[in-house]
Structure 1
Amino acid sequence: MTRTDVAFAAGDGACAAWLYTPTGNTTTPRPVIVMAHGLGGVREMRLDAFAERFAAAGYACLVFDYRHFGASSGVPRQLLDIGRQLEDWRAAVAYARTLDGVNAEKVVVWGTSFGGGHVIVTAAGDRRIAAAIAQCPFTDGLASSLAIPPLTSAKVTARAVRDLVGSRFGREPVTIPTFGPPGSTALMTSPDSEPGVRKLLPDGADLPTDVVARFALQIVKHFPGRKTRDVRCPILFAISENDTVAPARRTKKWAARAPYGEVTLYDAGHFDIYVGDWFERNVADQLAFLARNVPVR
């Protein structure tokens, strides 16, 4: 395979992306998988591992960073806004359909964690999507908010309000870590959050791991799971039974409403299925789903 740096227009800026192209002669346009990360994540945090497996199986992959993150444009940096990220998804899908050697009717959307929720919304709004994969997806803002200890939730909310008020007066953004140890002021503070995220970071990389704090006020109001019944393509929900970030019970409830939904369950935590043996099992299940529903010819 080859990996090329590309970029595409999105809203008022541009998203940076990697384009994976399988090698080998073929006159048949290939399916393409559009991929993006979750809460504050960027491509370098193990998305390359998944894209390499998919490309090895013959799929083109477009792996992008949201605006305000990674190599993409946008100020302030680390601004996580749900509406803007969903706009980036629509732009990524539109761009993927224009790529040489790609079948515009065989676009698959793949998202993980918070991006898994974006995949549900994107597939529900675009009937041309061929298939979707939502990995350990965020589906229910209330369930995820209730999983946060009350004191931590109060501290996070206070920082988010301070950031929002300051933004109205043109002040510099107030940021908040995306993860931290239990008891810290961060968006994810379960015992497995800090070690789990650190396993995704490339060795020696100095990647930002915070976001603009006002985002925390959006979480409790966001319910991408409500859109599952509107997804008219095959969709795979890869669910970790011991998920402390996106509680599995609510995710399974929403997944059951998808007309063409499939579920794979793992006796693992939210971050386990990115690495090691759980990754191997997870990616094998995803490749089997793709082979059934969007085969490479």
Structure 2
Amino acid sequence: MPADRKREKVRFASGDTSCAAWHYPGSNGGCVIMAGGTSVTKEPASDLFAARFNDAGFAVLAFDHRRFGESGGAPRQVVRIGEQLADWQAAIECAAGLPDVDPASISVWGFSLAGGHVFQVAAGHPKLASAIAQTPLVDGRAIAPHALSAMTTLALLRLFGRGIADALGSLVVRPPLLVPASGARGDVASLTTPDAMDAGRALDPDHRHPGWEQTVAARIVLRLGWYRPGRHASRIRCPLLVVVCDQDQSVLPGPAVSAARNAPESEVVHLTGRHYAPFLEAHEQAVEAEISFLEKHLPPSRQQPRNP
């Protein structure tokens, strides 16, 4: 992130806590709300893309889901889908109230797990101007067999044992049992697909985010297989851009392409590369496609900026 780039830390209420976000003031009335997947916090998730979107004139609101990063909520590192979807609702309300944002020109952007959230969020918010789902997890049931096959038998048994213990412990308010969000084959980690370990070099190559805790409560292994946000595609009324990587081994491109076909107004961009290619070798292609999409569907607002 360039040292002279102006962005401000803001907080907004969500549920019984608050979420932390970066607000990049924009000049054209449009706003892109951004969040990352699983345990990825707002800086490694959004910095590369947020800067480019902001250079194109768009405001950006990049936030941490509750229980992660600088947002509130306890216990920590626990993914609760319903809560995270509520955080998106709160983020949309926050963005609509920003002085540089036209409430009719708001887009949502997410990747991986948050890319899946984009499908459900967009389906529930018909007034959104557009939505971008980058390498989205749209069908946990479809990808679960592939993800499990990437684990050794021993690691799989240990992971499920830890997940069950974590879920049972939560019933008596024990601290979460954490596992790495990603790992190599044989590790006891949430994801050990061949491209899972690309996360570090893709999202934090210069180690600028020492506070990014790359762990997640082990109970996630019992739940993500049931999360199928792509089923909501047919209810999405705003333009939808789905960016897939053809060699993606973490969420697989097929389910996202199939889900996109069910959205009334969708575009699919295919990139060569694995799950994190949009942050690595395919970054320019990804960001140019996304800015072009935003400029098409979030044209400069005629509404005058409001006073803070």
Regarding TM over 0.5, the answer is yes
Question: Is the contact between residue 107 and residue 129 of structure 1 (CA under 8 Å) also seen in structure 2?
Answer: yes
| C-alpha distance in 2 between matches for 1:129 and 1:153 | 40
2:244 aligned residue (239, 257, 262): 239
User: Is 1:254 the equivalent of 2:263?
Assistant: no
Q: 1:205 to 1:104 in 2, by over 3 A?
A: closer
Deviation at 1:155, TM superposition (A): 3.1
Deviations 1:218-276 (A, max 9, x none): 1111100101111000000000111111111121111111100100001110011112x
Instruction: Tell me which amino acid in the other structure corresponds to 1:76.
Output: P
Deviations 1:62-107 (A, max 9, x none): 0000111111111111111111100100000011111112101111
Mean CA deviation greater in 207-216 or 190-199: 190-199
| C-alpha distance in 1 between matches for 2:76 and 2:287 | 31
Mean CA deviation greater in 140-149 or 66-75: 140-149
- Identity, in percent, stands at 35
| C-alpha distance in 1 between matches for 2:26 and 2:200 | 29
| C-alpha distance in 1 between matches for 2:8 and 2:279 | 23
Question: Is the contact between residue 142 and residue 255 of structure 2 (CA under 8 Å) also seen in structure 1?
Answer: yes
Correspondence list, 1:81-230, <5 A: 81-150=80-149, 151=153, 152-201=155-204, 202-206=206-210, 207-230=212-235
| C-alpha distance in 2 between matches for 1:153 and 1:119 | 29
| C-alpha distance in 2 between matches for 1:2 and 1:204 | 18
| C-alpha distance in 1 between matches for 2:106 and 2:157 | 41
| C-alpha distance in 1 between matches for 2:267 and 2:188 | 36
Unaligned runs of 5+ residues in structure 1 are: 24-28
| C-alpha distance in 2 between matches for 1:188 and 1:198 | 16
| C-alpha distance in 2 between matches for 1:72 and 1:250 | 31
| C-alpha distance in 2 between matches for 1:142 and 1:198 | 28
Mean CA deviation greater in 163-172 or 68-77: 163-172
Deviation at 1:192, TM superposition (A): 2.1
Q: What's the RMSD between the two structures over aligned residues?
A: 1.5
| C-alpha distance in 2 between matches for 1:145 and 1:154 | 15
Other structure's SS at 1:30 match: coil
Other structure's SS at 2:123 match: helix
Q: TM-score, normalised by structure 1?
A: 0.94
Deviation at 1:295, TM superposition (A): 1.9
2:9 aligned residue (5, 16, 31): 5
Instruction: Tell me which amino acid in the other structure corresponds to 2:14.
Output: A
| C-alpha distance in 2 between matches for 1:273 and 1:116 | 13
Q: 1:291 to 1:204 in 2, by over 3 A?
A: closer
Which residue of the partner structure matches residue 295 of structure 1? 299
Mean CA deviation greater in 192-201 or 170-179: 192-201
Question: Is the contact between residue 179 and residue 197 of structure 1 (CA under 8 Å) also seen in structure 2?
Answer: no
Question: Is the contact between residue 34 and residue 60 of structure 2 (CA under 8 Å) also seen in structure 1?
Answer: yes
Unaligned runs of 5+ residues in structure 2 are: 302-308
| C-alpha distance in 1 between matches for 2:100 and 2:274 | 38
Other structure's SS at 2:88 match: helix
Question: Is the contact between residue 272 and residue 282 of structure 2 (CA under 8 Å) also seen in structure 1?
Answer: no
Deviations 1:266-292 (A, max 9, x none): 1110011112x4111100000111111
